[in-house]
Structure 1
C-alpha cells in the first residue's frame, strides 16, 4: 500500500478535512504538537492551518494480512447518487433496490431501448430467493407468525419492475449520498483512455500509469472509512408504511449484506414516541400551566394520544400488527447482521426508534455524535441504550442549563450571550466533509467553490460534489464504515463467505471503545455536559457516550485475530 510507518507521507491540505478518520484511528495522522497549555480556553482545539502527516492506515493493516476482500454495506435511506465520481464504482447497482416507488422493488436501467424508449416496464423478481428460516424464531405470536409467513410467501412470489425513467436517486438522494460517502467514498481517478471512474491502486500516492487523477477540478481525492467495500442502496420513503421497512430489512438479509446502516428513525406511532420528562411534569404542576398539563397528558396517554387528536391517523389492528412484526424482524436480522442506527438529533436524553432497541443481546448499534472539542454534539440524543459515539458537527445550544454559541458567526457580535447560571461549553465549527448530490437537489444546490469550469466539463450543473454534513446520521455512517472494516478483516482471514454475526461485530466494536478518548485533532477527552437538567454532567460518561469513541485499528486487529 501507499502509506507505511517507515515512509510517512505528507498529505495535501484537503486531507485535513478527513479529521474524523484520524479521530476514529482509521488513519494514524500527526496534526502537530499540542499547545503547551491545552486547558487555556483561549486556545482553539483545532488549528485550521495544520497539514497532518499520515503514518499508516487501517487499510494497510488489512491488506498486509492477505488478499483484499470487499464487504457489502446495505444503506437503508433515500438513495445514493449513482453517478457521483467518488461513489460510482462503490455502488452495487445490480443489488440495489427502490422500495419507495414500488412495494415489491424497482430498478432504473442505465441503457435505453433505442427502438422503443417508452416501452412497457420490464418485470423482475427481487425477492425470489427470500428464505427467512435462517433467522430462527423471531418471537412472534401465533397470529403474527401466520401473518408474517403469508407476507414472506407473497414477497417470494412478487414481481417488481425495471424502468426506463430518470433515476430517482439522482434527484432525491442527498441524505443517502452524504452517508454513502462517509461509509465508502473512494478517491476518483480515470482509467487512461476509457473515461471510466476507477479506484487507484493506492490512496495517497499518485495513480500509476494505468490511471490518472480525475481531470474535473471539482472532484477531490476523497475517501470514506472503508473505500474498498461496496454499497447496496435500499431506497425507502418517509411514509409511515411498516411494510416497506420490513421488505428493506428482509432484502438486506437476503442479499447477505455484511452491515446494515439506518441513518434515520422509523415513524412507528408507538415506539418512536418520546416519554415526558419528569422535569416537564414537575414544572407543569408547579406553574399550573393548563397548556403544559395538556401536553404532558397527551404524551403520557400512549394508547389514547391518537384519540385526543382527531386529525391524527387512527391505528388499526392490521397496522399495529405490521409494526410489531417489523420490530421482531429488526431484532432478528440484527443478530445475523449488525444494524447501525442514528441516535437522533433532538438533544433528548432518549433515543429515537429503532436505536432505542439496542441491547447487549442484539446487534443494534445506537450511535451518538461528539465534536472535536470532546463534548456531545449540541443536538445528539443520549441516555439509556446508547452504544457508542462517533465524530460529527455541532449545534448551538442556548437554554437554562448550558450555553454553546458559535463565536465565529458574523451575527455573534449582535447578540449578548451571557451564560449566567448556565454552564458554557465550547462550540465546534468542524463538520464532516462528504459527497453531495450534484445539482440543485443537493445540500449545496449546485454551488461550485472549487473552480469555474464550463458546465459541459462539470456534470451535475454547477458542481456541488461535496457538502459539510453532520448529525447522528453522519456519525452512524462512520460507524457503519468501521463495521465494514471489521467484516472485511474477518473475511481476509477466513474467506469471502465468512461473516461475523451482528452481536459479534458489536462486541468487537464496543471492546475497542474508550470513554476517555481524546477526539483528535482536539485535545480534550470526552467530557459530559448539562443539557436537559441541572448537574446532568454528573451522571457519568456512559450516559452521554455509551462505551465511548471506537479505535478502528484496535477493532480491526481484534477481527484479524478472531
Structure 2
C-alpha cells in the first residue's frame, strides 16, 4: 500500500494463529490433531449478533438446527428451520442446577424448557426472525476467528485467464473441528433475553461460552462510578439509560449470579473492553480465581498491550489489532500513516509499540458487513462473484476473546482438555498453556500452544 511516505509492509493474514503457536509459519497444525475421546465436536456457544451462515468458510461450522435468535422473541426463534416446523428432540440437558436459589431465573428456565420441548413451533406465530445479513457483521467475524474452515467456491463468472474455475478461500479459525451455535440477541437486550441466552448455552451443553461484548446492566456497565455521587445524586442512576423497575433490577442481579454459575460448569470467555477500562467491562470484570469467567484483553502483533485494551483484572491477553494513543499517559502514533505530521508531537513518540497489523476474519459476503462489495446486489445463492467482501479487518478485545475461546475449544478438540472439564479446570488449563509476555513493568499471560508464542511485527 503506497502512502507517499512509506509503504506498509505485507503481513500474514493468519499471523494471530502463528503467534499463539497453534499453527506453524507455513500454516500447518503445530503438533495437534483431532483427538477428542468422546468423538463429538466441541461446541462453542456464541452470544452475539447473528452470523452469515452461508459464508463458505462457516457453513461446515455452524449448527443451524440449534441456532437460537433472541432478537425476535424473548424465548427465541429457530430461524433456520421452516416457520411452521415442529421441533424434534434437541438433546437438551434439562437437569441443570445453574438457576438454583434464583427465583426469577427458575421461572424463566421453566418457560424456556417448555418453549424448546418436542413439538413446539420453530418460529413464534406472526414473527419474522432477525438474522439478516445487515445484522450479522460482528457475529460473522467472531465465528470465523473461532472455527472457520478452508473452502473452495466456484466462481459465478469466469476468472481472468482461468475460465470457469474454483476460487480457494484458505481461511481457518483457531479450532476448525468445533461446532458453533449462534445465540443472537438484539443490540440493547433486557435482562430476560440475556438470561435465556446463558440458560440456553447451558442446556445445549456447550463446552465453551463466548460473550465478545458487554452487557448493558444499568448498575454494572461502568463499575468505576458505583457508589459515587455529584451533588447528592448517584452517578449510576444519573447515567442509567432509563428507570429500572424493581423486577428488572432483580433480574439484572440474578443474571450476574447466573453467569458465575454457568462458568463453574463450563468456561465463559468475555471481552474486557476497548476503552482502557480499569477493571474491564461487565461481565468480564466478574472474573476471579473462584469462577470460570475468563476476561480477555488485547495484545498487538509486537507483543505490547493494544492501545485501546483494558489492562486490569485480565485473565489472559489475545491477539488483536492496535490503536494510536495520544493522551497524558502515552504518545503512541503511527508514523507510517499518510497524514502523520510530527509538528507538535512531543517526545518520546513510542511508535515502536504501535503495530499496523490487523486481525483478518470472515465477513458477510456482498453488500453488507464491514467490507462491502462493488456490486449493488447481494451475492448469488451459489458461487462466488468477488473475493474482497468475504473477509474484513477486525480487532478490539472482541477479536481477542474469540481467539481465546477458539484456543480453549482446540484444547477440547485436541484432547488436551478432558471432555467433561468444568469452567475452573478449563481456566486453569488455559493459564498453564500461556507464556508470560512483558510490556514495561507489567507481564501478561498470552496463549502459547506447545509452550511457544511469537510476535511477527517485532
Indicate the TM-score class for this superposition, using the shorter chain for normalisation.
0.7 to 0.9
CA deviations 1:210-261 (Å, max 9, x no partner) are xxxx9454x5211010011111010111224011111011111111111111
2:224 partner SS: coil
Partners in 2 of 1:125 and 1:154 — Cα distance? 17
Q: Which one scores higher on RCO, CA 8 angstroms, separation ≥ 6? A: 2
1:231 partner SS: strand
Q: Given the alignment of the two structures, is residue 26 of structure 1 paired with residue 22 of structure 2, yes or no?
A: yes
Contact 2:146/2:173 (CA < 8 Å) preserved in 1? yes
Q: 1:456 to 1:227 in 2, by over 3 A?
A: closer
| Higher share in helix | 1
Partners in 1 of 2:231 and 2:112 — Cα distance? 37
Q: Given the alignment of the two structures, is residue 358 of structure 1 paired with residue 287 of structure 2, yes or no?
A: yes
CA deviations 1:276-310 (Å, max 9, x no partner) are 59xxxxxxxxxxxxxxxxxx7459965x642x46x
Greater Rg, structure 1 or structure 2? Answer: 1
Match of 1:551 in 2: 448
1:324 positional shift: 1.1
Which residues in structure 2 correspond to 1:31-70 (within 5 Å)? 53-54=26-27, 56-58=28-30, 60-63=31-34, 69-70=40-41
Contact 1:24/1:552 (CA < 8 Å) preserved in 2? yes
What RMSD, in angstroms, separates the aligned Cα atoms of the two structures? 3.4
Q: Given the alignment of the two structures, is residue 503 of structure 1 paired with residue 415 of structure 2, yes or no?
A: no
1:80 partner SS: coil
Q: 1:486 to 1:501 in 2, by over 3 A?
A: same
Which residues in structure 2 correspond to 1:8-407 (within 5 Å)? 16-29=12-25, 53-54=26-27, 56-58=28-30, 60-63=31-34, 69-109=40-80, 121-122=84-85, 124=87, 129=92, 131=94, 133-135=96-98, 138=100, 140=101, 145-158=102-115, 161-162=122-123, 168-189=131-152, 215-217=165-167, 220-275=169-224, 297-298=229-230, 302=234, 305-306=236-237, 308=238, 312-383=241-312, 385-407=313-335
Contact 2:198/2:262 (CA < 8 Å) preserved in 1? yes
Partners in 2 of 1:147 and 1:507 — Cα distance? 32
Partners in 1 of 2:274 and 2:64 — Cα distance? 31
Between 404-413 and 373-382, report the one with greater CA deviation: 404-413
Q: Given the alignment of the two structures, is residue 408 of structure 1 paired with residue 336 of structure 2, yes or no?
A: yes
Match of 1:38 in 2: none
2:209 partner SS: strand
Q: 1:467 to 1:501 in 2, by over 3 A?
A: same
Partners in 2 of 1:319 and 1:507 — Cα distance? 34
Q: Given the alignment of the two structures, is residue 429 of structure 1 paired with residue 348 of structure 2, yes or no?
A: no
1:125 positional shift: 8.2
1:461 positional shift: 7.8
Partners in 1 of 2:17 and 2:448 — Cα distance? 10
Partners in 1 of 2:232 and 2:302 — Cα distance? 37
Partners in 2 of 1:325 and 1:110 — Cα distance? 32
Partners in 2 of 1:433 and 1:447 — Cα distance? 20
1:148 positional shift: 2.7
1:490 positional shift: 3.1
Between 265-274 and 101-110, report the one with greater CA deviation: 101-110
Match of 1:527 in 2: 439
2:345 partner SS: coil
Q: TM-score, normalised by structure 2?
A: 0.83
1:130 positional shift: 6.0
Number of residue pairs matched?
Answer: 427
1:312 positional shift: 3.9
